[in-house]
Structure 1
Amino acid sequence: MKINKIYLNSVLILLILGCKPNSSNQDSESPSGFILQESELPDYEKDLNHQGLLTGLGDRHDESIRTGEHIYNNICFNCHGNPDQEGSMPNAFKFWEGEFKVGKDPYSIYQTLTRGYGSMPPQVNLTPTEKYDIINYLRETFIKEKNPGQFVEIDSTYLASLPFGTTTGPAPKEFKPWAEMDYGNFLINTYELVGRNAPPRERSTGTAPLPDENLINQNFAYKGIAVRLDQGEGGVSAGKAWMMFDHDLMRVAGAWTGEGFIDWEAILFNGKHNISPRTVGDLHFENPVAPAWANPETGKFDDPRFQARDGRKFGPLPREWAQYKGLYQFNDRVIISYTVGQAKILETFGLETLEGRPIFTRTLNFSASDRPLKMRIAPKGTAVALVGEGAVLKEEGGFLVMETTPSQNSKVKILIGKSGLKGLQQYTKTSSPPETLDQLIKGGPARFPQRLTSEVQEGTQEGPFQVDIMNPPFDSPWKNQFRLSGLDFFKDTNKGVICSTDGDVWLVEGFTKNSGKLTWRRIASGLFQPLGIKVVNEEIFVTCRDQLVKLHDFNGDKETDFYEAFNSDHQVTDHFHEFAMGLQVDTEGNFYYAKSARHAREALVPQHGTLIKVSRDGQKTEIVATGFRAANGVCLNPDGTFIVTDQEGHWNPMNRVNWVKRGGFYGNMFGYNPPPDSTESGMEQPLVWVDRERDQSPSELLWVDSKKWGALNGKLLNLSYGYGKVFVVPFEKIGNQVQGGIFELPVPRFSTGVMRGRFNPGDGQLYLCGLSAWGSTQPQLGGLYRIRKVDQPMVIPVGIKATTQGIELNFTDELDAKSVADTAHYTVKTWDLLRSRKYGSKHYNEQTLTVTKAKLGKDKKSIRLHIPEIKPTWGMEIQYRVKDDRGKNVAGSVQNTIHQLGEGWER
C-alpha cells in the first residue's frame, strides 16, 4: 500500500475553499454533524462511481484487505486500537462493539471518513480507493463477526441505491511529506542508532501504566544532531552519509551510510505513537550512551547524571564537566561549540574516501586547558588515525582514546573508518591538515535566500469578528509542511517570527501594512520540534524539545548563523509524548515553558509533566509546578501566576484549564514522585473541567490586550487545538480557588488546531497559528489567521459568579429585560466525573436544574439565574436564549465548573 500523493492537493483545495464550516455559539460543525460540507470537497468526490468502487473490491479482495490493514495500523490504530489493545484515545469509536452514529453501511462510513464527524477528522489524505479498502478491512475484520448488528450486506439492491458517477478518483501514489522535506543539512531529534540487522523494537502493551521496556542497551541519542556529510541538494533527508552528535554527552553516537536516512517512525513524521526513528543503512561505528570526554577533575568516564527507574540516565553532563554551547552553520557545514572543563572546543565533521570506502572525519579546535583531556573516539577495533598536533591516540578501557596536550591551543583531525579498513595510517600522509574553524563561525552566505509570498484572504463574515486566512506558501521549494507552532512580533509590528514543529523559523512581513500579501523568509531550520517562540529585546528565542535556543545573525542577512544553546538542561527521553510547549517571559526576564509527561506510562525523570522556569541568563532551571499530563503551553498572568492547560487522559477525566500556583500538583499520578493521596483533595483543582464535546484538546491561553476589542479587553481567551476554536474564559476567585467556564467565540472553526496566539500592538488584532499533527480533528497541516474585531455588538458572557442562590452571568452588551425574565429561555445541566487511572470519564449523575427566576441586573448587562438546587459540580452547562437591547435574538452556552459557592444576592 502507498500513502496517496493527492494529500497536499486535497489540503490546497481545502485552503482555496477556506474550510469554513457553519459557525454558531453552540456548534461550528455543519448542520448534518459533518465537519466538511459537500461544497468543501474535491470535485472528484461529487462524481464518484461508488457502485464501481464497491463492486471492484470483489476482484481485489485480498489486496484490498492488506491495504486496509496497512492503513488502519499506520493511521487509525493509534487512536482506535483493536479488541486486544486499547488505543491512545479510548473514547475513539470501537468498530468491534460500537454503534455507528452516521450510518453503518459502506457508503455512510465513507461519508464519515471523507467529511469527518464529531471528534473524527476528515481523512483528506486518503483516496476513494483507499477509503473503501479500509472500510472493507473494518467490515471483514471487526464488524462482520464481532459486531454483526452493524454489518450491512452488499447486494444488488444496495448497490443500485448508490451514486453512479464517472470516476473512481485519483489513483493512490506514494507520498511521504516528512521524508521529502528539505530540513537543511542537520536535523535534531531523538534517534536510535542501529545496524542493518537490528532486532525488532520492544514495545510494551497492556493497561496503563504500561511497563517500561528494557532499553538499557539501546543506543539512543536523545539530543541527537544528525549531520549530512555527502554533497548534494535536499538536505539531511536526501543524504547518503551522516554522523550523529549527542549534545547531552558531547559524544559522536555513530556514523552510517546508505540510501535512506532514518525509518521516519515517529509521531511528528509518519504519525506513529510510542516510537522513535531508527537509522537505516550501514552503521560504520557507534559509541555507547556514556560521556565521551572524561571528567576533567578525575580523568574518569563514570556517568554522574540522573538515573531513572529503568536504569537509564538522562539529561546533560554537569556544566563544570562539559557544556553544549550551540551550533554554527556555514553553507552546508555544521560546527559544534562546547566546553570541556576550561577548554573551549569547536568541532566539525566531514567525509573522505580511501579506495572507495568512506572515512568519517572529526576536526577539533580546542583552547588550552590546565590539564590533559581525554575523549573516547570509538570502540577498540575501529580504524582510527589522527592528523595534526596537540593530541595522541591511546587505548583505554576497550576504547581508542584521544588525549590532548595541556597548555596549548591545538587543531586535530580524527579519521574514522569501519573495522577492518586497511591503510588508514598511510592515508594520513595525504589527507588535508585540520582546518582553523574560527573562520567558519562569523556568518556565511544565505542558505535560503528565496523570499516566498502568500495571499491574505480577508474575511467578510457577519457579526463582531472577521477572520482573515493568512496561509503560508505551501508550494515552498523545500517542501515544508508548515505545521505552525508559535509566533511573536518585533517592535516593527509589520514583522514577526513564526516557528513550525518541523524545525523551521520564518521571518514574516506584511502583518500591518495590509498589502494583501505576506512575505516569508526561512531563517532557521533543523530544530527539534519547536513549539514556542518569543522575541525579547529584538532577539529570538525558541522552545525546542532539547533546549531553549537563541538565534543569532552575524552578517545581517537575517538567517541564523549561530543556534545558541541558551539553556539545555532539558531531560529528554525517547518517549514520543514529552513535548516542550510554549514560551513566555516575565517582567524580570525569566522564561517559562511546559513539558508534557509520558503517555500511559509513569514518569522517568523529574521534568516529566511540569511547568519549568529558566533564569534570564539561561544558567538555572527550576520546576515551578508538577502533575501535568499533556500541558500545551503557558499563559503568564498579570499577577505573576500562570495558566497551563491539560488534556483528557489517564488521571484526567476531562480536559483541564489550570490556574497554576507555584509548587502545586495538578493531578497526574503517573507523573514523577506524585503525592500519596490520589483523591481530588491531593491535587489542585482546575479553573474548569472542559468537556470533550466543547473542546477535545485545549492549547494555550492568552489575555486580550487591545482597546479595539472593546469589552473583551483585559479578558481571558482559550485556544482549541482539538477543534480549531477560540473561547472566552469568564472566571471568579473565591478564597484561593479560581473557577469559571468557557464560551465559544462566534467565529468560524479554523482549518487547523489552534496552538498559539499573540495580539499585535500595531493593529490591535489577534493573530493565531496552528497545526494538525496529533489528536486534532482539523484536517489542514498548518495555518495562520487573524481575528479582527469590527464595530458590531458582541453580546458575549465575560463574567460568571456561582452563589448559594444561583448563577450570575455578565455580558459585554445590554440585554432586553423581558426576554431575560422568561425562565423558559434557560436550560441548566450538571454532571459529575470520575477521576481514575483509566483514560477519561463519562458523565455521572446528570441532572437538569430548575431556574425559578431570572432577572436583568441594573447595568442591563448581567443576568441572575435563581437555581435553588445549585451546588458545587464538576461540570455545568448553561444554555440561554434571550434578546439584546435592540431586540435581536441571542443564543449561547457556557460550560463551567463550580468548586465553591459564594454568598447569595441580597433579596
Structure 2
Amino acid sequence: MKRLLFGIISLLFFGLIYSCNTQSQKKESNLNNGFILSESDLADYEKDIDHQVLLAAWGDREGESIRTGEHIYNNICFNCHGNPEQEGSIPNAFKFWKDEFKVGKDPYSIYQTLTRGYGSMPPQVNLTPVEKYDLIHYLREEFLKEKNPNQYFEVDSTYLVSLPSGSTTGPAAKEFKPWAEMDYGNFLINTYELAGSNTPPRERSSGPAPLPDENLINSNFAYKGIAIRLDEGKGGVAAGKAWILFDHDLMRVAGAWTGEGFIDWEAILFNGRHNISPRTIGDLHFENPVSPAWANPQTGSFDDPRFTARDQRKFGPLPREWTHFKGLYQYNDRVIVSYTVDQAEVLETFGLELFGNTPVFSRTMNISPTGKALKMRVAKVGTSVVLIGEGAILKDQGEFKVLEVKPNQALQIKILISRAESSELKEFAQFSSRPEDLRNMIKGGSKRYPQKLTTTIQKGEQEGPFQVDIMNPPFDSPWKNQFRLSGLDFFKDSNKGVICSTDGDIWLVEGFLENSGELSWQRIASGLFQPLGIKIVDEEIFVTCRDQLVKLHDLNGDQETDFYESFNNDHQVTDHFHEFAMGLQVDKKGNFYYAKSGRHAREALVPQHGTLMRVSKDGRSSEIIATGFRAANGVCINPDGTFIVTDQEGHWNPMNRINWVKEGGFYGNMFGYNPPEDSTESGMELPMVWVDRDIDQSPSELLWVNSKKWGALNGKLLNFSYGYGKIFVIPHETIGNQVQGGIVELPIPRFSTGVMRGRFNPGDEQLYLCGLSAWGSTQPQLGGLYRIRKVDQPLSIPIGIKASSEGIELAFSDDLDRESVSEISNYRVKIWDLLRSRKYGSKHYNEKPLSVANASLSRDNRTILLTIPDIKPTWGMEITYELSNENGKTVSGSIQNTIYQLGSSPSN
C-alpha cells in the first residue's frame, strides 16, 4: 500500500504552487462560487489528471483503497468531522453520515471540494489525487452507502466516460512528516509523557461536552519538559538517539531514553491530532515521578504544595522561595539549565557516556553555597547511581536514591545514572571525566545557525486602495523550518524586526525599509514551546510561550541567543492541547499581557484556563484580570487602558466574539474555572460584536491604526482573521457602559495563510502582518509575511456606526453620491438571534428583514442615516448596500453589527 502523505503540506511542494502567486491572482469570483482556490492556484498536474483511470482503479485495489482512505480520514479528517459515535472538534463540520453535499455528491465533485476547498473546508493540498480518491472511496463505503444513501452516487460506465481524462494520475504518495524532519536545535520544550514498554495505551474520553476527565493521576507528564539531545550528530533533537528530559515546574530530571525515534509526534502542532500530547518512544532507562525533585529547604519534605486540580493532579511551578527556574544557556550543542534552590544558585548540564554498549547518563552540577543542607531525589532505588565530587553524598531514602548537599560549600559534582550494575558503574566512574566548571559555558558560544538566508519581496501592484507585498520566508531553509509565523515586532531601527514561529523559532529579519527587494533572515533562537506572541521592549526581545514568558539574551554580540531567561514562568500548564498562550502586549507602566485559552470541550482544570493574564514589569508576579474565554487569540491594549480579546465560536459561544474587556469581567465560557452560577447573558460581559462564522471563522488579534498614510482609517480599529485570512475594520460606539459595534471587511483578497498578528512599522507607517495555518484555518499555506500599503485610492467603506431609536447611522471613509444614498432599494437589512448553550455554536433564530423607510446623506457627504422604524436591540444585524461614490463608481458591501442599546436620535 502506498504510504500516506500526512497532514501538512510539503514546503517544497507548496513553494511550487504558491511562490509565484501574488494576492492579485486570488479572484473574487472564486469566493463567490464557494471555492477557496481558483484553478490558477492549483498545481499544473491537476489540469491533466486522468479521473477515469483513478476511479476505475477502485475495482482493482478495493481493499487497499478503502484502508488508505480510512487511514487518511482518521489522521486528518476525524479531528474536525468525527464519526456517528463521536462528535468532531468542530461540531458544525460536515457530517458524511447525515448531511447533504453542497457542491455535488458524485466522486468528481467531492474531489473538487477536497482539491479547492469550499466555505469553511480548507483545500487538502497535502493529498495526492490517488489519496483523495481513496478518501472519497472510504467515505462512500463507510458513511454514505448505508447511513446516508441519498448522498451515495452510483458510479457506472456512463459516468466514467463523462469524467475528464488526462495523461497522469499525479505524483506518487509518500510518507511526509515535516514536524519530525525539522531541526529544532538540540533542545525542544513541550509537554511530554514519559512512556516505557509497560505503559498502558492512552485513555481518551469521548461523548457530549463537557468531556469527562481521564484518569491520568499515574501518568508521567513533564508539562514544561525540556527535551535535550545527548548524542552527537546533525539534525537537532528530532534526529537524536539519546535524550534526557528536564521538567522546569519541579526542577526534576523526569527521565532519560534511547532509541531510533524521539517521540511519537502525537500533538496538534506536530501531526495535527487533537486532545493528545506526545509520548516518548524507544527504551526508557529511568524515570522520576511527578513530584518535587528538591526537598523543601525549610522542612526537608518532598510533599508537593502546588495547586491541586479536581482530577487530583498538581500544576504550576513550585514556590519561588523553594526553587525557581531562571532559564537555560546554550553553549554550542550543550544545554545548561539555571535555577535556584533556597539561596543556592544551580547550574546543571547533561551528558551521555558509554560503558561498553550500556548508556550512562550524566548530570553535572555547580551549586553555590547556601546556609541549609539540601536534598534532591536522583532516581528510584534499584537504579545504579554514582557520585563524583566532594561536598555531597548519596543515600537511600524510602523509594529513592537521594543526593544530600552540605551547607555553606560551593560544589562541582557529577552524577552518573545507568542500568549497569552498581559495582560496574563505580568502576566506570573512576575513568569518567571530572565535573566541569559550568561558568565557562554561560558567556556565549559559537553560532549554531551562522547562515543568513535571503528571500525576494514580491511587490504588489493591485488596483484599489491597498497593495499587498508578499514577503514569504525562506521555505527551503537548511533546517527544514515550517515557518508557521505567529508574531512580529520592530526595533528602533525599523528596518529590522523579529518574528516568531509557533514551531519554536525566533528570526531576526532585516530589509523592511530598503529598496533592494530582498529580506535577510537570521535564526537567532530555537526550541521554544509554541511561541505565539513577541514584543521588543527597550530593544530587548520578549516571547510568549506556552510554558513561560521568555527574554532572549545575546551574551557575546553575535546576534544569536545564548541565554533564554525565564522572565516569568507562573504559567499553569496541563497536558491539554488547546491551552495556547496567545499574543504579547505591554502597557505604559511596563506590564506584560497575554491571553490563555481554555480546554476545548472540557471544563477547566486550573484557574488560568481561559483568562487574560498580566505579568508585572519585573516579571516576578502575575495575575488573572479577566476570565471566561474559550480560545482567546491574542490581546489588544486600547488607548484608555482597557483591552480587547477575541474568542471563537464553540461551546457556550454561539458565534465568534470580539470582547472589549474590563478587569474582573467574565466572558461567557461556562466550562471555565469557577464560572458564575448564572449561565444566562446577564451573568457575563457581552461582546462588542458577535461575528458570524460566514464573516470570519476564527478572529485573531486586533490592532489600532497608527499611520497618517492610512487616511480615514488612522485611529480606527482593525481585526485580523486567522480563520479566513482577512482584515476587518471594527466601527463601534459606547452607550452607557456597553461598547457595541460592527465588522466590515477591507477590500483586500484573502491571504494564503490565516492572519495572526500585525504591527505598524514606524519607519514607513505601513501595516506588516504575519500568519500561519496550523489548526482549523481554511487557508492552505503554512506561514507567511505580508506588507499592506495604503495608496491614494478611495476606500469607501463604513468606519463608524451608531444605533438609535430612529435607525442606523453609518459613517463612510469617503464621499458618497447623494442620489444613490437616498434610494432605499439600495439597502437590505436583516436581524437574527442566537442561542447560547453548552452546545457548539448556534444557528440563526428569528431571522427576519427590516424595512428602510428613508435614507439620507449628511452635509459631510460621508454619513448615512438609515431610518428603520422596527429597529430594536439584536444579537446580529446585517446591512448590505449598493451605492456610488462621488465619482460615480459603485460602492457595494455589507456591515454586520450587534445592538444592545439604542441611543438618542442623531441630528443631521
Above 0.5 in TM-score? yes
Q: What do the CA deviations read for 1:886-905 (whole angstroms, capped 9, x no partner)?
A: 11110010011011110123
Q: 8 Å contact 2:11–2:476 — kept in the other structure?
A: no
CA distance in 1, matches of 2:459, 2:600: 40
Pairs within 5 Å for 1:56-455: 56-418=57-419, 420=421, 423-455=424-456
Q: 8 Å contact 2:22–2:458 — kept in the other structure?
A: no
CA distance in 1, matches of 2:421, 2:878: 72
Q: 8 Å contact 1:578–1:597 — kept in the other structure?
A: yes
CA distance in 1, matches of 2:515, 2:679: 53
Q: Does 1:16 align with 2:19?
A: yes
Change (3 A) 1:459 1:332: same
2:537 match? 536
CA distance in 1, matches of 2:745, 2:570: 38
CA distance in 2, matches of 1:740, 1:592: 24
Shift of 1:57: 1.2
Query: Alpha carbon RMSD of aligned pairs, Å?
Result: 1.1
2:897 match? 896
Q: 8 Å contact 1:23–1:747 — kept in the other structure?
A: no
The one-letter code sitting in structure 2 at the alignment partner of 1:766 is: L
2:829 match? 828
Deviating beyond 6 angstroms after TM superposition, the runs of 4 or more aligned structure 1 residues are 21-24
- Secondary structure, in 3 states, of the residue corresponding to 1:896? strand
Structure 1 residue runs without a partner (length 5+): none
Shift of 1:14: 3.3
Change (3 A) 1:886 1:818: same
Shift of 1:198: 2.4
- Secondary structure, in 3 states, of the residue corresponding to 1:237? helix
Q: 8 Å contact 1:7–1:124 — kept in the other structure?
A: no
Q: 8 Å contact 2:806–2:868 — kept in the other structure?
A: yes
1:724 match? 725
CA distance in 2, matches of 1:360, 1:743: 59
CA distance in 1, matches of 2:32, 2:859: 38
Change (3 A) 1:111 1:20: farther
CA distance in 2, matches of 1:333, 1:217: 32
Q: 8 Å contact 2:23–2:468 — kept in the other structure?
A: no
The one-letter code sitting in structure 1 at the alignment partner of 2:43 is: P
Pairs within 5 Å for 1:489-528: 489-528=490-529
- Secondary structure, in 3 states, of the residue corresponding to 1:300? coil
CA distance in 1, matches of 2:316, 2:406: 29
CA distance in 2, matches of 1:869, 1:421: 86
Q: 8 Å contact 2:358–2:420 — kept in the other structure?
A: no
CA distance in 1, matches of 2:639, 2:23: 34
Q: What do the CA deviations read for 1:535-571 (whole angstroms, capped 9, x no partner)?
A: 0000000000000000000111000000000000000
Shift of 1:760: 0.2
Calculate the TM-score normalised by the size of structure 1: 0.99
The one-letter code sitting in structure 1 at the alignment partner of 2:626 is: A
CA distance in 1, matches of 2:22, 2:90: 25
Q: What do the CA deviations read for 1:2-24 (whole angstroms, capped 9, x no partner)?
A: 33387334411332242647779
The one-letter code sitting in structure 2 at the alignment partner of 1:791 is: D
Count of matched residue pairs: 905
- Secondary structure, in 3 states, of the residue corresponding to 2:95? coil
Q: 8 Å contact 2:717–2:731 — kept in the other structure?
A: yes
The one-letter code sitting in structure 1 at the alignment partner of 2:666 is: F
- Secondary structure, in 3 states, of the residue corresponding to 2:328? strand
- Secondary structure, in 3 states, of the residue corresponding to 2:389? strand
1:466 match? 467
Shift of 1:635: 0.3
Q: 8 Å contact 1:581–1:593 — kept in the other structure?
A: yes
Q: What do the CA deviations read for 1:866-892 (whole angstroms, capped 9, x no partner)?
A: 000100000111000111111111001
1:672 match? 673
The one-letter code sitting in structure 2 at the alignment partner of 1:144 is: K
Change (3 A) 1:18 1:49: same
Q: 8 Å contact 1:10–1:124 — kept in the other structure?
A: no
Deviates more, 1:826-835 or 1:9-18: 9-18
Change (3 A) 1:19 1:77: farther
The one-letter code sitting in structure 1 at the alignment partner of 2:731 is: P
Q: What do the CA deviations read for 1:324-348 (whole angstroms, capped 9, x no partner)?
A: 0000000000000000000000000
Deviates more, 1:8-17 or 1:212-221: 8-17
Q: 8 Å contact 1:257–1:282 — kept in the other structure?
A: yes
CA distance in 1, matches of 2:203, 2:832: 41
Q: What do the CA deviations read for 1:328-385 (whole angstroms, capped 9, x no partner)?
A: 0000000000000000000000000112200000000000010110000000000100
1:806 match? 807
Change (3 A) 1:536 1:266: same
- Secondary structure, in 3 states, of the residue corresponding to 1:368? coil
CA distance in 2, matches of 1:421, 1:599: 47
Q: Does 1:7 align with 2:10?
A: yes
The one-letter code sitting in structure 2 at the alignment partner of 1:344 is: E
Change (3 A) 1:465 1:28: farther
- Secondary structure, in 3 states, of the residue corresponding to 1:86? coil
Q: What do the CA deviations read for 1:706-749 (whole angstroms, capped 9, x no partner)?
A: 01101100000000000000000000000000000110000110
Pairs within 5 Å for 1:364-763: 364-418=365-419, 420=421, 423-763=424-764
CA distance in 1, matches of 2:68, 2:409: 63
Q: 8 Å contact 1:523–1:558 — kept in the other structure?
A: yes
- Secondary structure, in 3 states, of the residue corresponding to 1:901? coil
CA distance in 2, matches of 1:269, 1:18: 27
Q: 8 Å contact 2:773–2:780 — kept in the other structure?
A: yes
Shift of 1:110: 0.1
Q: 8 Å contact 2:12–2:475 — kept in the other structure?
A: no
The one-letter code sitting in structure 2 at the alignment partner of 1:723 is: Y
CA distance in 2, matches of 1:620, 1:324: 14
Shift of 1:32: 2.4
The one-letter code sitting in structure 1 at the alignment partner of 2:14 is: V
CA distance in 2, matches of 1:13, 1:879: 39
Shift of 1:427: 1.2
Shift of 1:390: 1.3
Q: What do the CA deviations read for 1:678-708 (whole angstroms, capped 9, x no partner)?
A: 0000000000000000000000000000011
CA distance in 2, matches of 1:129, 1:403: 62
Q: 8 Å contact 1:17–1:40 — kept in the other structure?
A: no
CA distance in 2, matches of 1:902, 1:322: 56
The one-letter code sitting in structure 1 at the alignment partner of 2:21 is: G
Change (3 A) 1:206 1:419: farther
CA distance in 1, matches of 2:532, 2:22: 24
The one-letter code sitting in structure 2 at the alignment partner of 1:561 is: D
CA distance in 2, matches of 1:890, 1:9: 41
Shift of 1:577: 0.1
CA distance in 2, matches of 1:139, 1:283: 43
Change (3 A) 1:57 1:267: same
CA distance in 1, matches of 2:321, 2:157: 77
The one-letter code sitting in structure 2 at the alignment partner of 1:591 is: F
CA distance in 2, matches of 1:324, 1:906: 61
- Secondary structure, in 3 states, of the residue corresponding to 1:592? strand
2:43 match? 42
2:840 match? 839
